[in-house]
Amino acid sequence: MQIFKVGGAVRDRLLGRPVSDIDWLVVGATVEQMLELGYRPVGDDFPVFLHPQTGEEYALARTERKSGQGYGGFTFHASPEVSIEEDLIRRDLTINAMAEDAQGQLFDPYGGQRDLAARLLRHVSPAFAEDPLRVLRVARFAARYAPLGFSVAAETLALMRQLSESGELQALTAERSWKEISRALLEPRPDVFIQVLRDCGALASLLPEVDALFGVPQTATHHPEIDTGVHLLMVLQQCALHDQPLTVRWACLLHDLGKGTTLACEWPRHIAHEVRGLKLIRAVNARCKAPKDCQELALLVGEYHTHGHRALELKASTLFELLQRFDVYRRPQRFEEFLQACEMDARGRLGFEQRDYPQAAYLQAAMQAARAVAVQPLLEQGLTGAALGEALNRARLQALTQFRQSQRQAQANATH
């Protein structure tokens, strides 16, 4: 019986990166032996055990064979006869197919170290093409390691393209896809994730609404980068640079979907793309089974991001309606995330990356002015129910009118 560290723990140690989770592999043991040693079984499909002291996962060496469609379409075989080499060959990438024994000796039968040095994400064997989830995983690794200079090997990209064209991606469950997509969006280069999916044809299969943005032109005055898809990639880069949460990154991914439906004869203008995009955002939200907070923010950003950009021009009544729509009195954090998404959208343009975004501070101040309206004086007037609500709304609108006037006066004073 031998115990090895495998996968990411070995890879990240060799890259000099912090190691958080350790995967352990047990070669030459039976289920009975593991139970006798006090390990607790947890695996349904194949034998995985929890260490009696540390609680870490230990898996028996196994082989796998394709037996159906999709991520779950595999038959596993675990036995004491399965060697370390046989277990490692079923893994996705060479850099994830290395092992280390208790003495620190490295087992690297498939050239993982070589590909680490070459900064290549390369598949271990042709069996890579049997698992559609690996398309998303490789794109996610590309997003994680792009800052270190990693790219996907040409032959691996070809296999990913083959998987995309086979229709196997449609067999992925929404839960598995969302897990990979959400993790990838939080990597240092989420734009690389989208680009790699596009390069292998998977974006058109998984997120056709996003894929449709590429090649669609915008007005050069506002978007010097022209291409809507390129703009999207730049917005995602800004999200990572400014360490935005998943809700904001998801909203930014979907904020311009309506532009993909603009008729070519109307290019480069995209009138009412905000409203046209809502149906598409709902479709993507539902298909990916995104969490509720991600779904809500994506729809609000899609509909109102141009309001954010035009904040300084908005009438008091429009400001009031915007704040009401976001329910800033009970959910101010959601409005803050909206402002962050708007700022990422504004910065995700060629030459605008370092530009200030005063609209965010302006709208934050407007929110504070509306939230500062006290309800107690209205209650003391004996107002209740609908009458109280109407009076409160009038008071908030009045506060926003005064806020807007004071802001315009301050601006006028500053220019003289």
Query: Nearest to residue 131, comparing CAs of 70, 197, 63?
Result: 70
In this structure, the answer to whether residues 250 and 193 fall within a common structural domain is: no
pLDDT for the residue numbered 177: 95
**pLDDT tens figures, 294-309:** 999 999 999 999 999 9
In this structure, the answer to whether residues 42 and 91 fall within a common structural domain is: yes
Which two structure tokens, joined as six digits, stand for 12? 């990240």
- Residue range 8-35: mean pLDDT, rounded: 90
pTM over 0.95: no
Spatial CB neighbours of 127, under 8 Å, sequence gap ≥ 6:
66, 89, 90
- Residue range 331-350: mean pLDDT, rounded: 98
In this structure, the answer to whether residues 269 and 406 fall within a common structural domain is: no
Out of 70-79, 147-156, 377-386, pick the least confident.
70-79
Pairing of strands 57-60, 2-6: unpaired
* Other CB atoms within 10 A of residue 405 CB: 11
CATH code of 190's domain = 1.10.110.30
Q: Taking the mean position of all CA atoms in its chain, how far away is CA 105?
A: 36
**14: domain range?**
1-111
Q: Answer yes or no: are the C-beta atoms of 135 and 164 closer than 8 Å.
A: yes
In this structure, the answer to whether residues 357 and 328 fall within a common structural domain is: yes
Whether the ω angle into residue 268 lies within 30 degrees of 0, i.e. cis, is: yes
Given a cut of 80, whether residue 385 has pLDDT beyond it is yes
Query: Nearest to residue 124, comparing CAs of 133, 111, 113?
Result: 111
Q: What 8-state DSSP symbol labels residue 23?
A: E
Distance of alpha carbon 339 from alpha carbon 248, whole angstroms: 9
In this structure, the answer to whether residues 332 and 350 fall within a common structural domain is: yes
In this structure, the answer to whether residues 265 and 300 fall within a common structural domain is: yes
In this structure, the answer to whether residues 218 and 340 fall within a common structural domain is: yes
In this structure, the answer to whether residues 16 and 123 fall within a common structural domain is: no
CATH code of 35's domain = 3.30.460.10
Which of 90, 111, 132 corresponds to the end of one domain?
Answer: 111
- Residue range 352-357: mean pLDDT, rounded: 96
Which two structure tokens, joined as six digits, stand for 268? 């480069």
Query: 236-241, long-range: CB within 8 Å, 24+ apart, which pairs?
Result: 236/185, 236/190, 236/191, 236/194, 236/348, 237/189, 237/190, 237/191, 237/348, 238/344, 238/347, 238/348, 238/353, 239/185, 239/190, 239/344, 240/187, 240/188, 240/189, 240/190, 240/191
Gyration radius (Cα) of the chain, Å = 27
Cα dihedral 16, 22, 28, 33 in deg (nearest 10):
160
Which two structure tokens, joined as six digits, stand for 353? 């990356």
Indicate the number of domains in the chain: 4
Which of 206, 241, 273 corresponds to the end of one domain?
Answer: 206
User: Which residue matches tokens 């277990």?
Assistant: 87
In this structure, the answer to whether residues 189 and 267 fall within a common structural domain is: no
Q: Kindly indicate the confidence band of residue 46, based on its pLDDT and cuts at 50, 70 and 90.
A: low
Query: 60-64, long-range: CB within 8 Å, 24+ apart, which pairs?
Result: 60/25, 60/26, 60/29, 60/31, 60/34, 61/25, 61/26, 61/27, 61/28, 61/86, 61/87, 62/87, 62/90, 63/87, 63/90, 64/90
Q: Which residues pair with 63 in a beta bridge?
A: 77
Spatial CB neighbours of 278, under 8 Å, sequence gap ≥ 6:
258, 299, 302, 303
Q: Kindly indicate the confidence band of residue 70, based on its pLDDT and cuts at 50, 70 and 90.
A: very low
Which two structure tokens, joined as six digits, stand for 373? 């309206």
In this structure, the answer to whether residues 260 and 316 fall within a common structural domain is: yes
C-alpha triplet 134, 137, 142: angle, nearest 5°: 125
**In the predicted model, what is the mean pLDDT of the chain?**
93
Give the type of residue at 344: M
In this structure, the answer to whether residues 155 and 294 fall within a common structural domain is: no
Which two structure tokens, joined as six digits, stand for 214? 């590429």
Q: What 8-state DSSP symbol labels residue 170?
A: G
- Residue range 181-210: mean pLDDT, rounded: 98
Q: Residue 121: helix, strand or coil by DSSP?
A: strand
pLDDT for the residue numbered 67: 46
Distance of alpha carbon 124 from alpha carbon 93, whole angstroms: 5
**pLDDT tens figures, 98-139:** 999 989 899 999 999 999 999 999 999 998 988 899 999 999
Give the type of residue at 86: E
Which of 158, 173, 206 corresponds to the end of one domain?
Answer: 206
In this structure, the answer to whether residues 14 and 57 fall within a common structural domain is: yes
